[in-house]
Amino acid sequence: MAVRDAEPGDIGEICALIEEHARYEGNDELRLDRADMARHLFGPDPKAWVLMAEHGGQVAGMAFCNWNFSTWEARPGIWLDDIFVRPEFRRHGLGGELLAELRKRTAGRIEWDMQEGNDRAAAFYTQLGAEPVPGWIRYRWRP
């Protein structure tokens, strides 16, 4: 098993993993523009970065992240926008390896959202020592 930083040649796999995750969550319509994603990840002004998880020489999963900053902690942290391990590669420790690599990259907090009712993921995150943030509701403002 290996976790590594994504490279420009991974763009097809990154987009495929995101689309697979969308289908797993019930969104059969999502189709990403590979060129746009490549520009956002690997262009002159990157907006996000990706960790790739491999198992047996195959791409098994990824963590899609960007930096954030906590004013109250006065330090940068990581926003984990998406973590996905393909079903056939689950139960091999890859999710834990991806999150452990994120922990190494910041002394700040790592945050993410999880869909309500995902009890298996909640148990996994609790096992790692993560906890839900009580009293906060996420808002989204779209153009």
Where residue 58 sits, what CATH number does that domain have?
Answer: 3.40.630.30
pLDDT tops 80 at residue 42: yes
- Domain tally, the chain: 1
Q: What's the one-letter identity of residue 42? A: F
Residues carrying an active site annotation = 125
Output the pLDDT for position 38: 98
The CA distance from 70 to 2, in Å, is 30
Contact between 64 and 93 (Cβ < 8 Å): no
Output the pLDDT for position 22: 95
User: Is the overall model pTM greater than 0.85, yes or no?
Assistant: yes
- Structural domain of residue 46, as residue ranges? 2-128
Note whether residue 50 is domain-resident: yes
Note whether residue 137 is domain-resident: no
Contact between 3 and 101 (Cβ < 8 Å): yes
Q: Are strands 110-111 and 49-55 parallel, antiparallel or unpaired?
A: unpaired
Note whether residue 141 is domain-resident: no
**pLDDT, mean of residues 28-44:** 97
Note whether residue 135 is domain-resident: no
pLDDT tops 80 at residue 50: yes
115 pLDDT tier (thresholds 50, 70, 90): confident
Output the pLDDT for position 120: 87
